[in-house]
Structure 1
Amino acid sequence: MKFSFVKPKPRLGFPMWARAACRQLVFGLLLCLVRAAAAQVSTEPILRIEAGAHLSLVTRVSSDSQGRWIVSASEDKTARLWDAATGRLLTVFRPPVGPEGVGAIYAAALSPDGRQVALGGNAGFDGRTHSLYLFERASGRLPPKSTLSGLEAPVTQVAWSKDSQLLAVGLRQSGLRVFQRNLGFIGSDPEYNEAIYGADFAADGRLATCSLDGSIRLYRIDRKGLQRTARKQMPGKPYSLAFSPDGSMLAVGYQDSGRIDVLDAATLTPRHTTPPLSEGNLGRVAWSSDGRILYGGGTARARDRFAVFAFADSGRAAAREITGFSNIVTSLVAWRDGVLVGSAEPSWASFDAAGSRRLYARQQTADYRDADDKFMLSEDAARVAFPLAPGGNMLLFDLAKGDVRPYGPEAKLESPRQPSWMGGGPSNWKNSSAPKIGSRQLELRPGEVSRSMAISADKQRFVLGTEWYLRAYAVDGNPLWEQRTPAAVWATNLSSDGRWVVAGLGDGTIRWYRTRDGREQLALFVHIDGKRWIIWSPSGYYDTSLEGEDLVGWHLNRGPNIASDFFSVGRFRDRFYRPEIIQSILRTG
């Protein structure tokens, strides 16, 4: 059976722009209704690490127009406010958080006037809708009516207009939304086929966005709302963009290219392209305050570091490396006469016009990437040795003695048992999405990457550490259990007595899991200074070094539209400081 459809003619006296305005009005009313029915969040206390810096990759950095403050955001579910003169941490913004990735912050922007901090990400407490939060910069509070709930997808980008009156919100799906700073609805464009990671306002109020669907879009905002004025399909996957300070040029960085295209900001016609790099991408772009230098960074490398490059003559000159990081560059933004850089180390740094580093907020957690045979265990898993950084000195944690000290070979610990190159055991497991046992591929989730592996002493099972899970398998590859982890499992080992799987995670923790069922029993955090440490059980009992109690605390959600509280475990020392319980857990399992 065939059906035919006839497009109705517009009614007289009801022009196209008016119908669009009505649709936008209805959308705004629906958002208000959904906001009133926001999903409830759990108010059970959650144990979280607080080391004074981010625990996971920095997703965004931002500053006000005068460069007085710096905001950084992270997948660790916090955003942080820093003094741009001293680098001192001023405030930790804590939206509500949930299990697994719920609460991760993907997008953040400080308003140019410095009054508000817009935060968004994965706030899917009901599994369907997400939220945008507007925190007060000065107080760190989330005032009433400053949460916009009901967004159809995670927020991947936010951008303020230069006068701080408008806020553009890019979504992973469902396109673009624009709001007033009081969250009054202005307009939307749902015609996107992929996530929006780039958005920027020009000084005259024009808005530009880019999406992984390959398109650059230009908008104006007037009494009719949000009006798209141009669209251009680009040769690749645009990831970020930035207007030049005078608004005449638009720089575009790509997820899949080592070049930056510079377009005419009015017509989107090409002007010039930076000299291309042979490897990696320049997915993040920013201009200097005078428009003479174009900055780019991403996965492109120089001297075995992930580099930030400066292109003089507005992007026409050859690349000049100004700095490098041990992990990818995740964010670039203009700051004073230089640039701010966010990295997946996790860290951020600021640079002046000459490329000299002014501030550096380095990671405060151990880095277990590629620890491999240096992640060592005693037979009963009561002692563990590890490097604080790749290639760094080894430390030994001794649970019985309650101390951390330099590791020496007299400790007689064992490295992870792994298959030889001649065969036997898993193969293709290192940084792979297709690990195998023999010819059989081990099933992982879409996008999941295997990072570490160890075989039991009796060779009857093995464990695989991945980006999201710790997984145990029988020797034939049949799955035994899986345990969701709070960060990537970069290192793992099994105790010779067969009772414990111990894993080094991307959040800087070392965690003990029961071999028989994968249940987590203990977590250890050693500060990057190699002196302070704390070890705790899921129920909150802990043992600690001097001054280690402030490294862990209780996160308490207050509701879907209220900033969360945080209390260090030291406030409850009388109840939870129980070294004897911690040691008994390892003995009894």
Structure 2
Amino acid sequence: MSLVPVLARAMVALALATQACAQEAPELRLELDTGGHLAVIRALSADASGRHVASASEDKTVRVWDLAGAAPPVVLRGYAGPGNDGMVNAVALSPDGRFAAVGGYFGPHHAVDATFGDVRIFDTRTREVVRVLEGHRYVVDSIAYSAERDELAVTGQGGIVMRWKDPFGAAPEALPPLDSQASRVLRVAYAAGGTRVLAATTDYGLRMWSLPEGAEIAPPEAEPLWDIVVSGLAVSPDGARFAVSGSDGRVEIRASADGAVIARLPERPFRADALAFTPDGRLAVGCSYRCAGAHEAEVWTPGATAPDTVYRDHDGAVSAALALPSGAVVTAGGRGTALHVWQPGANAARRVLSGAGTPVTAAGIAPDASWIAWGRADPCPDRPVCPEVLAPLAMRMDLPQGDRGFGPPGPGDTAAALRARLEGDGRTLSFETAPGAGFVGDTMAISGAAKPVRLRRSATDGYYHSAATLAGEEAISGGASGLLLAYGPDGAFAGEFRGHTGDILALAAAPSAGRLLSAAADRTMILWNLATRAEIARFFVAGDQWITWTPQGYFHASPDGDRMVGWRVNRGRDAAARYIRASELKRHLHSPEIVRRAILAGDPAQAARDLRGTDGELAALLTRAPPAFDLRLASEIDAPEGAAVLEITGAGVEEIEAWGYSILVNDRRVPPLPYPDPTGQGRKLYQVPLGPGENAISVTGEDDFGYVAERAAMALGETVARAPEKVGKLYVAVIGVADYPNLPEGCNGGPCDLAYPVQDAVEMLATLAETTGRLHTEMETLVMVSPSRLAGSDRLMQALSAVTPADAVLPPEGRLVEDALTDFLARPGPEDTTIVFVAGHGLNLDEDYYLLPEDAEQRGGEWRTRSLFDWQILQEELGYALGRRILLIDTCHAAGAFNARLEKDAADARIVVFSATAANNTAAERRDLGHGIFTYALLEGLRGKAASGDGVRLLGLADYVHREVLRLSDARQEPFYSLLETSNFLLAQP
């Protein structure tokens, strides 16, 4: 199965007159941005130097890649609406790379009378649209630029070639158009020093004109091309020759002067849309369709009988090709829609430019929809589509059910999964290709019904059937560009599931639960409500990072998962769109509880209304712009030893000061120290300390509205190993709540008292003082534990008194906990380390998480929230604390007490987190250990059982605690960690 670079994704508007009427596009569009393209790449263009390459994709973006650097690509986004509206088919860079001309399907989806062919001129530095070239009415398929003439040619559906002089200047001049007399031109190019214009058409072969007069040239041996689709076109660097390719596998090299045939390659067994001439005159030919599993790009010497070399690293169809002045070739395609930069004759790519994730080719769902499963293997590498072949399932994710929350995605048991069902209830789905069809699998037959039905797809409804399943009385079929349609028993159209943007690759229905799971080439899965056909939630997983989100924008994600999804905010058809990542709105939209309720009830809008009072919060949020600034490492400045200098640009000093921004170096929060600009230009420079080795520097600005903008840089600190030395103070706060006198029936009808939180807290304090305190210059403590447990234990009092005076111990009452922690966490400096240990009961109420202090109360069976300690306060204060922050949590002693939102917030703040439980299990105590299992394992590890070499290091402790908790709990309890952007630092010396 290959992602098909369909030549006719977007049809002439008039051909769609029988379809739905034009509709206004929404101003907001939810999009993944994983660092690369998510759909077929239709065109490539380079600047004159070959350093910058632009790629145009059906995912409605253009990406400009710097081949000489490591920076992420510049992403150009214009207006985009539902369906095809905003799809990009063509791009041409200016010689200096400063501007990009972009064209495609720029009009309302399925509109009858609209303009689709406006060309947007983007400034690639500011990412703004600086002007629009109007005149081409229909969808644009190809754009070419002639440096010799400083002229732009634009063409596509309708067959007219529009031209502009000085297209990237302030006042482009429209030139007389050229009429190909074809219904559609797929490729246009300049040749012979700008004196020729060439056009490859769908129904009139090859067309040629001479410039400047615009006279037609009739190429010899042109008639055989009239009966095929001429799908590929490339011009040699000297402009003297060009190559054309056809849907029948032919590839011809012709003279630019008159179009005469110079050479023909042996007929290729595939369709070659991707052609490019190398500087030495050879021709790169990429397989675009009918590849039979050999997804390759060949390099030919004209006149040869076999290719000189074959590049085989693509794993799917090659949709575009470009040769660079250096001799390298860029080919685009594959299942991951990547750009491969390679040298002819080399065995591997010099560079692969792509994003995270790959198409999801397999889908499975539990009969009760309590979990989903998926896979990514290609079920039929030698065929374009194979809906009757099911790819294997490899991953699983538990969904909320009752008190159970989300489980993390990973390998798991998928044997009970429901898959696509092609036969049942007396009906059978089968697939065939109609005679003369342009694509394999264009017809689905439904047999066994009262009257056999054949459903043939065309340009208006997805081209082919790439996945299908029976679901109750309906048959559901997916096709190209995310078309997912339902048909009744008689084959009549029953409805549409709107959401995907890539080819539908797998389906699985759970009719008894009323759910459908779809998987697509856009790398996502969608869980649907079968009854309403509404999207409930969408899933994206790439390695350790994942995110689940609802159409209303609320999400649940791994620590960095929310960086890979955001909203395109339209600002008009003639303006660039703004892109706001989910991470920038996490203060408002990060809500695992709303996502949980949406999945349980199947109604995400109602879930949002239940908890937020509205399902329109997102639209209100996106009317504002987030803090805008850029960050760079000022490497030209000779920074002080052990430090780096950062420059912040794009924001005023007043804005920066108003944001109250923070700087993280790995896992340490450091103060921004202004650094004088040695050039006297008044640049906003800041000095930050560095640790040894790589330092991940993150600058975060948060405005009063709660928008969070983050920029990152990497700096290298000294790598010479030094003997450990004492650095900074150690701040340790321990909270142990064992007694709940106001809750005699508060926990499942019984008392809430716990046996060991005070013992856990006191022994943790004593152990840290003995093993970690020696690594620091001094130690400050805050102790808040249930006093009755101390009074009855001489051993605990003795252990406590060795570290802190007994009269300094505070009772763990709600208001006191808040005030004492707030004051304590304001003290550490950038070189200090803070450790907070909490043991007791944790409680989820709607979206919020609370610690039950000793004076917690209920009234009428309901919790009095004023008597509880809001965990968010601890989280925020610890996040604001300077230096390294470590949080040890042993609070989940009741089912459902795990709070995914707070765990992620801590990870985002680069707080090192050790938690007693992951999702869907509880923290246990054991009498024979005298502690909670998690705390016991921590203590044993710190005391030496996790030591290696010079002591106990962070990763060694995490590994030991994980194994011990699983062992001591018989695998019923699994701890959770967040160790992002941190080094394997020395934590203790027993």
Same fold by TM-score, threshold 0.5 exceeded?
yes
1:417 — aligned with what?
421
> 1:22-79: per-residue Cα shift (whole Å, max 9, x none)?
xxxxxxxxxxxxxxxxx99756222211111111111112211211111111000000
Say which SS state the counterpart of residue 408 (structure 2) adopts: strand
> 1:529-562: per-residue Cα shift (whole Å, max 9, x none)?
2x11111111111111111111111111111211
1:428 — aligned with what?
431
Say which SS state the counterpart of residue 48 (structure 2) adopts: coil
1:280 has 2:264 as partner: no
1:120 has 2:106 as partner: no
1:472 — aligned with what?
486
2:399 — aligned with what?
399
1:289 — aligned with what?
279
1:136 — aligned with what?
123
Give the superposition deviation at 1:288.
Answer: 0.8
Q: Matched residues in 2 for 1:426 and 1:353: separation?
A: 45
2:780 — aligned with what?
none
Q: Matched residues in 2 for 1:242 and 1:347: separation?
A: 21
1:21 — aligned with what?
none
Match of 1:360 among 352, 359, 369: 352
Give the superposition deviation at 1:423.
Answer: 7.5
Letter in 1 for 2:247: Q
1:545 — aligned with what?
558
Say which SS state the counterpart of residue 108 (structure 1) adopts: strand
> 1:371-398: per-residue Cα shift (whole Å, max 9, x none)?
3xxx211123231111134378711122
Match of 2:251 among 254, 260, 278: 260
Contact persistence 2:418–2:509 (CA under 8 A)? no
Q: Matched residues in 2 for 1:97 and 1:410: separation?
A: 38
Pairing of 1:197-276 with structure 2 (within 5 A): 197-202=186-191, 204-206=193-195, 207-222=197-212, 226-231=214-219, 233-236=222-225, 237-257=229-249, 259-276=250-267
Say which SS state the counterpart of residue 587 (structure 1) adopts: helix
Q: Matched residues in 1 for 2:483 and 2:238: separation?
A: 48
Contact persistence 1:463–1:473 (CA under 8 A)? yes
Give the superposition deviation at 1:473.
Answer: 3.5
> 1:168-204: per-residue Cα shift (whole Å, max 9, x none)?
1112114211111143111211242232122222352
Say which SS state the counterpart of residue 497 (structure 1) adopts: helix
Contact persistence 2:128–2:576 (CA under 8 A)? yes
1:382 — aligned with what?
370
After TM superposition, the structure 1 stretch with the greater mean CA deviation from structure 2, 356-365 or 516-525, is: 356-365
1:482 has 2:465 as partner: no
Give the superposition deviation at 1:103.
Answer: 0.3
* Shift in alpha-carbon separation, 1:392–1:497, aligned structure 2, 3 A: closer
Give the superposition deviation at 1:263.
Answer: 1.4
Contact persistence 1:192–1:213 (CA under 8 A)? no
* Shift in alpha-carbon separation, 1:210–1:470, aligned structure 2, 3 A: closer
Q: Matched residues in 1 for 2:368 and 2:536: separation?
A: 14
1:437 has 2:460 as partner: no
Letter in 2 for 1:248: A
Match of 2:329 among 339, 347, 358: 339
> 1:243-272: per-residue Cα shift (whole Å, max 9, x none)?
323333221111222x31111221222121
Q: Matched residues in 1 for 2:492 and 2:203: separation?
A: 39
Contact persistence 1:113–1:163 (CA under 8 A)? no
Say which SS state the counterpart of residue 325 (structure 1) adopts: coil
> 1:385-439: per-residue Cα shift (whole Å, max 9, x none)?
111343787111223343433333377433333328x983222279622211122
Contact persistence 2:157–2:184 (CA under 8 A)? yes
Contact persistence 1:57–1:74 (CA under 8 A)? yes
Say which SS state the counterpart of residue 585 (structure 1) adopts: helix
* Shift in alpha-carbon separation, 1:475–1:41, aligned structure 2, 3 A: closer
Say which SS state the counterpart of residue 38 (structure 2) adopts: coil
Contact persistence 2:547–2:556 (CA under 8 A)? yes
* Shift in alpha-carbon separation, 1:479–1:142, aligned structure 2, 3 A: closer
1:24 — aligned with what?
none
Contact persistence 2:136–2:155 (CA under 8 A)? no
> 1:207-264: per-residue Cα shift (whole Å, max 9, x none)?
2222122332332333x5x33344453523322222323333221111222x311112
Q: Matched residues in 2 for 1:444 and 1:393: separation?
A: 28
Q: TM (normalized to structure 1)?
A: 0.84
Identity, % of aligned positions: 24
2:664 — aligned with what?
none
Give the superposition deviation at 1:273.
Answer: 0.7
Contact persistence 2:313–2:349 (CA under 8 A)? no
After TM superposition, the structure 1 stretch with the greater mean CA deviation from structure 2, 314-323 or 119-128, is: 314-323
1:196 — aligned with what?
185
Q: Matched residues in 1 for 2:511 and 2:426: separation?
A: 22
Contact persistence 2:219–2:260 (CA under 8 A)? no
Greater length-normalized contact order (CA 8 Å, ≥ 6 residues apart): 1
Say which SS state the counterpart of residue 409 (structure 1) adopts: coil
How many residues of Structure 1 are paired with residues of Structure 2 in the alignment? 534
Q: Structure 1 regions of 5+ residues with no counterpart?
A: 1-38
Say which SS state the counterpart of residue 518 (structure 2) adopts: strand
Structure of greater Rg:
2
Letter in 2 for 1:427: S
Q: TM (normalized to structure 2)?
A: 0.51
Say which SS state the counterpart of residue 525 (structure 1) adopts: strand
Could you say which structure has the higher strand fraction?
A: 1
Contact persistence 2:146–2:194 (CA under 8 A)? yes
* Shift in alpha-carbon separation, 1:155–1:185, aligned structure 2, 3 A: same
Contact persistence 1:384–1:398 (CA under 8 A)? yes
Q: Matched residues in 2 for 1:42 and 1:542: separation?
A: 23
Contact persistence 1:42–1:557 (CA under 8 A)? no
Letter in 2 for 1:526: V
Q: Matched residues in 2 for 1:93 and 1:302: separation?
A: 31
Contact persistence 2:35–2:354 (CA under 8 A)? no
Say which SS state the counterpart of residue 533 (structure 1) adopts: strand
Give the superposition deviation at 1:445.
Answer: 5.0
2:39 — aligned with what?
56
Give the superposition deviation at 1:81.
Answer: 0.8
Q: Matched residues in 1 for 2:181 and 2:315: separation?
A: 34
1:521 has 2:536 as partner: yes
Letter in 1 for 2:115: T
Q: Matched residues in 2 for 1:65 and 1:105: separation?
A: 22
* Shift in alpha-carbon separation, 1:429–1:253, aligned structure 2, 3 A: closer
Contact persistence 2:536–2:551 (CA under 8 A)? yes
Q: Matched residues in 2 for 1:451 and 1:302: separation?
A: 17
* Shift in alpha-carbon separation, 1:426–1:539, aligned structure 2, 3 A: same
1:450 has 2:465 as partner: yes
Q: Matched residues in 2 for 1:287 and 1:59: separation?
A: 18
Pairing of 1:290-305 with structure 2 (within 5 A): 290-291=280-281, 293-299=282-288, 304-305=293-294
Say which SS state the counterpart of residue 586 (structure 2) adopts: helix
Contact persistence 1:216–1:234 (CA under 8 A)? no
Q: Matched residues in 1 for 2:415 and 2:230: separation?
A: 52
Q: Matched residues in 2 for 1:445 and 1:251: separation?
A: 30
* Shift in alpha-carbon separation, 1:538–1:121, aligned structure 2, 3 A: same
After TM superposition, the structure 1 stretch with the greater mean CA deviation from structure 2, 43-52 or 53-62, is: 43-52
Contact persistence 2:192–2:256 (CA under 8 A)? no
After TM superposition, the structure 1 stretch with the greater mean CA deviation from structure 2, 104-113 or 409-418, is: 409-418
Contact persistence 1:365–1:507 (CA under 8 A)? no
Q: Matched residues in 2 for 1:138 and 1:573: separation?
A: 28
Q: Matched residues in 2 for 1:315 and 1:302: separation?
A: 23
* Shift in alpha-carbon separation, 1:93–1:159, aligned structure 2, 3 A: same
